[in-house]
């Protein structure tokens, strides 16, 4: 694996790779890598000739300064995981490299309905920050394929819209969520939890499974209430949301209709750490 910290050196290497008609797969991350990230790297390795992973803890997508400060940073382990999974290139830019101080206007992304619901509602400005970083990274790497995780369901929809609006042609691949044996969705944020909280945190996925298994037999409000109780009884501090939405539009549904593809999504705090998860239904 070759590590690049500057855009110029990375682009020089990628131009050479593209002349050799190699296809480039790109996996953007914020580091503190785990097996979920590794699954995206493996997917990219299987589908493209050169796999580029970026690690950048993007300050612009954190609406809470202390969340940004506490975000785990484990670069030595990250490099080991990337090498073990045969990543070709690691791009590790500084904030100055990503966001040089110049006169160019800060882009505003038209995310429509997606901007202010669920994650967007609870984390104002979050998706503008995500788009800014992903747009910038895509214009630097110019990959043929982009690999994202379903774990961040709304983010996938937002990035898809941004790419369409800006005519970015990379093929988007969305990989399933990797989970611990307990069902807990793997997340860099899990590293901040005590062993006990990590066990209890599996309640989010249990609540989503409960919704999935009962969707045909109970009204949506009742399902959401029970799911919320499952999470709170496991020792969570607070539930931000539990929602059942149309899987394509992310509009909440009031009643499950046979044949409609749905997704159930949740966000909740345990030991002050905010976790998110989602599951497709039917
Ligand atoms: P992050 O480092 O949290 O920004 O995540 C980088 C990429 O990894 C995003 O596309 C995430 O959706 C994806 N990802 C995070 N957790 C998982 C997981 N448990 N399984 C699969 N992909 C994941």
Specify the pLDDT at position 104.
78
DSSP 3-state assignment of 149? strand
The answer to whether 93 touches 54, Cβ cutoff 8 Å, is: yes
pTM beyond 0.95: the answer is: yes
Specify the pLDDT at position 60.
94
Is residue 173 annotated as part of the catalytic site, yes or no? no
Phi, psi (5° rounding) for residue 170? -60, 140
Specify the pLDDT at position 205.
98
The stretches in the chain having pLDDT less than 70 are: none
| Angle subtended at Cα 222 by Cα 239 and Cα 183, rounded to the nearest 5 degrees | 55
Evaluate: CB of 186 within 6 angstroms of ligand 1: yes
User: Atom 17 of ligand 1 has which residue's CA nearest to it?
Assistant: 36
Averaged confidence pLDDT in the chain: 96
Q: How many CA atoms lie within 13 A of 130 on its CB side?
A: 25
Residue labelled with tokens 């699954």: 39
Specify the pLDDT at position 87.
98
CA 224–ligand 1 middle distance (angstroms): 25
Q: Which of 109, 102, 115 is nearest to 138 (CA)?
A: 109
Please choose from 30, 38, 152 the residue to mutate so as to test ligand 1's pocket, defined by most ligand atoms within 8 A of CB.
152
pLDDT, one tens digit per residue, over 151-206 is 999 999 999 999 999 999 999 999 999 999 999 999 999 999 999 999 999 999 99
Q: How many CA atoms lie within 13 A of 63 on its CB side?
A: 12
CA 27–ligand 1 middle distance (angstroms): 9
Specify the pLDDT at position 258.
79
User: Atom 12 of ligand 1 has which residue's CA nearest to it?
Assistant: 149
Q: How many CA atoms lie within 13 A of 164 on its CB side?
A: 8
Question: Which of the following is catalytic: 37, 173, 217, 233?
Answer: 37
Specify the pLDDT at position 128.
97
User: Atom 14 of ligand 1 has which residue's CA nearest to it?
Assistant: 149
């Amino acid at each position: 694996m070759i590590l690049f910290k500057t855009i110029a050196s990375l682009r020089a290497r990628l131009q050479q790779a593209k002349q050799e008609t190699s296809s480039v797969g790109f996996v953007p991350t914020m580091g503190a890598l785990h097996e979920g990230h590794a699954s995206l790297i493996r997917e990219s390795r299987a589908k493209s000739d050169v796999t580029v992973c970026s690690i950048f803890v993007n300050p612009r997508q954190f609406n809470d300064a202390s969340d940004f400060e506490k975000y785990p940073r484990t670069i030595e382990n990250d490099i080991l995981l990337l090498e073990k999974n045969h990543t070709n290139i690691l791009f590790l830019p500084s904030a100055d490299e990503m966001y040089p101080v110049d006169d160019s206007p800060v882009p505003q992304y038209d995310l429509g309905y997606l901007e202010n619901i669920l994650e967007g509602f609870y984390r104002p400005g979050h998706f503008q920050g995500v788009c800014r970083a992903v747009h910038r990274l895509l214009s630097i790497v110019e990959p043929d394929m982009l690999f994202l995780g379903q774990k961040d369901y709304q983010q996938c929809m937002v990035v898809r819209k941004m790419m369409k609006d800006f005519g970015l042609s990379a093929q988007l691949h969305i990989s399933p969520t990797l989970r611990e044996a307990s069902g807990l969705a793997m997340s860099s944020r899990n590293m901040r939890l005590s062993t006990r909280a990590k066990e209890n945190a599996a309640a989010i996925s249990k609540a989503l499974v409960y919704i999935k298994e009962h969707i045909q037999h109970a009204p949506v409000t009742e399902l959401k209430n029970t799911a919320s109780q499952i999470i709170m009884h496991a020792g969570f501090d607070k539930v931000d949301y539990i929602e059942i939405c149309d899987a394509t539009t992310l509009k909440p549904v009031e009643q499950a209709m046979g044949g409609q593809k749905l997704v159930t999504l949740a966000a909740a705090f345990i030991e002050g750490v905010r976790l998110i998860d989602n599951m497709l239904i039917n």
